[in-house]
């Protein structure tokens, strides 16, 4: 149980285009999903917290107009990187909080490697 | 300001040995302390987690030791195997919908 999937697993795009990444909780309902980015050999950096049916909360320094997050259902959240540039190339990982667990147990997706040319 | 400090940055252990990774936190409101294992190109996988009402938790070869007064917790991997070679992250959070705060990670290499 507690499986989180991401699609696509990798994507290459041209500078200036937009890319959408999907995050799904396959066997549980996720009221909250989190989006992270990770640069090589570095830790995970939280980008935003996404609650189903409401606007995402972005971390300081993360451009909300560039990284659009939508959490339309209890099993799906999407991250759209708009007008992507080479500096947006990174490993994007989502996580989902397991339902009503009293503690903040989170399960991570396999990540999406974005390369912007 | 980093709220969870993790050490060492990298660790090399002989097969069969004990791997020990340490973390220290600052926020006394933290009440959930998980460890994640990450292989290259993959997302982190929850390994084991502890709450502050216990001082130790063991699952198979993995043990978390927790020292509330020192605000420290550690991961011990007994009988380390080459397949354990990965990056390990400690994290902490406050129960509820708050995000996890991650340490910077430890790259473990288990050599035969």
User: Cα–Cα distance between A101 and B1 in angstroms, integer?
Assistant: 29
Angle (nearest 5°) at CA A68 between A62 and A69 = 100
| CA distances for B99 relative to A97, A104, B93, angstroms | 10, 8, 6
pLDDT of residue A27: 87
Residue-wise pLDDT tens digits, A11-25: 999 999 999 999 999
Cβ atoms of A93 and A36 closer than 8 Å = yes
What is the distance in angstroms between the Cα of B96 and the nearest Cα belonging to chain A?
6
Sign of the CA dihedral A85, A69, A98, B35? positive
User: Cα–Cα distance between B81 and A65 in angstroms, integer?
Assistant: 45
Residue-wise pLDDT tens digits, B52-91: 899 999 999 999 999 999 999 999 999 999 999 999 999 9
Count of Cβ atoms closer than 10 Å to residue A111 Cβ: 24
List CB contacts (< 8 A) between B44 and chain A.
Answer: 44, 93, 108
Strand, coil or helix: B82? helix
Q: What residues have CB less than 8 Å from A20, skipping those under 6 apart?
A: A78, A79, A80, A81
Residue-wise pLDDT tens digits, A63-96: 999 999 998 888 999 999 999 999 999 999 999 9
- Phi, psi (5° rounding) for residue A87? -70, -10
Longest Cα–Cα distance in chain A: 43
- Inter-chain contact A108–B105, Cβ cutoff 8 Å? no
Length of chain A: 117
What is the distance in angstroms between the Cα of B40 and the nearest Cα belonging to chain A?
9
Cβ atoms of B4 and B91 closer than 8 Å = yes
pLDDT for A99 beyond 90: no
């Amino acid at each position: 149980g507690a499986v989180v999937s991401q699609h696509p697993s990798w994507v290459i795009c041209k500078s200036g285009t937009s890319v959408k990444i999907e995050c799904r909780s396959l066997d549980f309902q996720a009221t909250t999903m989190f989006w992270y980015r990770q640069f090589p050999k570095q830790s995970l950096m939280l980008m935003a917290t996404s609650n189903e049916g409401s606007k995402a909360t972005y971390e300081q320094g993360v451009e909300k107009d560039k990284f659009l997050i939508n959490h339309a259902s209890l099993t799906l959240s999407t991250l759209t990187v708009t007008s992507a540039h080479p500096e947006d190339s990174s490993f994007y990982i989502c996580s989902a909080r397991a339902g009503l667990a009293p503690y903040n147990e989170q399960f991570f997706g396999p990540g999406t490697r974005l390369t912007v040319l | 300001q980093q709220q969870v400090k993790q050490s060492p940055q990298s660790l090399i252990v002989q097969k069969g040995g004990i791997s020990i990774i340490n973390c220290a936190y600052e926020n006394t409101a933290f009440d959930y302390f998980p460890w994640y294992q990450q292989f290259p190109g993959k997302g982190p996988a929850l390994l084991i987690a502890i709450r502050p009402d216990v001082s130790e938790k063991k699952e198979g070869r993995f043990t978390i030791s927790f020292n509330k007064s020192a605000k420290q917790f550690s991961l011990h991997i007994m009988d380390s195997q080459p397949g354990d070679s990965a990056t390990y992250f400690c994290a902490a959070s406050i129960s509820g919908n708050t995000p996890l705060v991650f340490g910077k990670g430890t790259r473990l290499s288990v050599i035969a």
